[in-house]
Amino acid sequence: MGKIKVFLSDWQVLFREGIHFTLSGEEDFEVLGEATDNEEALAFMQSNIPDIAILNINHIKVSGIEATHRLKHDLPAVGVILIMDSENEEQLFSAVKSGANACQTKDIDPDDLVTIITEVARGDYPICKALLRPGIAARVLEEFEVVASVGGAMGQLMAHHSPREVEILRHIASGGSTEQVAAALGITEKEVYKQLEMILSKLVANEHTRVVAETAQEEVPLALTGGALMAKLRGRPMPEYVTREEFNAFKENLRGTFKTLLGELSIQEESRPE
């Protein structure tokens, strides 16, 4: 196996140099290049494909979340590690749904970063551990509640939770550890982690559907979008196409998360954590 090729994108020179210095001391890594913003990074990686992309989540022109969506669409084999300038649960939750393999703050220990890069290069998803945070688990439950409220053909396009997944999330949201959750449900901790991986897979699949729908919402027929659901909820005839006003209302009514639904759901092996 050759060296793990890494590309770095961060606005802070000292941070990039710190990572570069750390990886240069490891014989298994090669730094392909660096960028000050994610737009530049995406352009570079189209012709110089790395194994791992380390991206700052806060870049203004192209956020780390948007960059992750693009990479997972265009270069799905590239592992993505998002970097937060400081601890931020909102950003972490967005990172979880984006399909990123990992998300860390800049105060991460260099040795821990090397370990995470190695795990991501194997195809692992260390970000799955974020689901063990009570606040994140509670937000995942809310997302699944929204999906569960969508019936008929629309609901079939989204990944739904299972009763076991809900039980696990509720225990974690209440502050339970993996050991406590396993004991309460009569399963092993390994099974708890397996269920969390499936939950992560569903979140990413649903977010991908949302992003595709948002991009195409002005051109697709209403019957394939969340506008149909809005019309049904409002008890009025469905117009032929989605208007911008309807789309914005749909976003607000579904907690600003599932703005519209489009496409046929397919949870593929490459999007599922091993």
Higher per-residue pLDDT: 9 or 263: 9
pLDDT of 76 reads: 94
Judge whether residue 271 has pLDDT over 70: no
**What pLDDT does residue 155 have?**
64
Spatial neighbors of 87 by CB under 8 A, at least 6 apart, are 105
What's the rounded mean pLDDT across residues 3-11? 95
pLDDT digits (tens, 9 = 90+) for 79-106: 999 999 999 999 999 999 999 999 999 9
- Reported as a single tens digit per residue, the pLDDT across 41-63 is 999 999 999 999 999 999 888 99
Question: How high does pLDDT run on average in the chain?
Answer: 82
Distances (CA, A) of 226 to 99, 101, 178, 204: 23, 29, 36, 18
Beta-bridged to residue 115, according to DSSP, are none
Whether the Cβ atoms of residue 258 and residue 206 lie closer than 8 Å to each other: yes
Q: What is the pLDDT of residues 218-262, one digit of tens each?
A: 454 444 444 444 444 444 444 444 445 544 554 455 444 443 333
pLDDT above 80 (res 8): yes
Quote the CA–CA distance of 226 and 163 in Å, as a whole number: 25
The model's pTM is 0.77
- Cβ contacts of residue 144 below 8 Å, gap of 6+? 160, 161, 165, 166, 169
How many whole angstroms separate alpha carbon 61 and alpha carbon 162?
38
How far CA 264 is from CA of 155, 212, 272, in Å, comes to 11, 11, 17
pLDDT higher than threshold 70 for residue 263: no
Q: Extract the tokens encoding 126.
A: 């260390």
Would you state the pLDDT for residue 108? 93
Three-state SS at 50: coil
Q: Six-digit token pair at 269?
A: 């092996």
Distance of CA 53 to the CA centre of its chain: 15
Q: Which tokens in the block code for residue 109?
A: 């220990």
Q: How far, rounded to the nearest angstrom, does the alpha carbon of residue 16 sit from its chain's CA centroid?
A: 23
For 29, the enclosing helix (H) or strand (E) is strand 29-35
Lowest-confidence region among 36-40, 43-47, 149-153 = 149-153
Residue 148 has pLDDT above 90, yes or no: no
Residues in CB range of 26: below 8 A, 6 or more apart: 114
Report the pLDDT value the prediction gives residue 235, as an integer from 0 to 100: 46
Q: What pLDDT score does 213 carry? A: 66
Tell me the pLDDT tens digit for each residue of 156-203: 678 888 999 999 999 999 999 999 999 999 999 999 999 999 999 999
**DSSP label at 241?**
B
pLDDT at 153 over 70: no
Domains of the chain are 4-124 (3.40.50.2300), 134-271 (no CATH)
What integer pLDDT is reported at residue 233 of this predicted model?
40
Buried b (16+ CB within 10 A) or exposed e, 223-239: ebbbbbbbbeeeeeebe
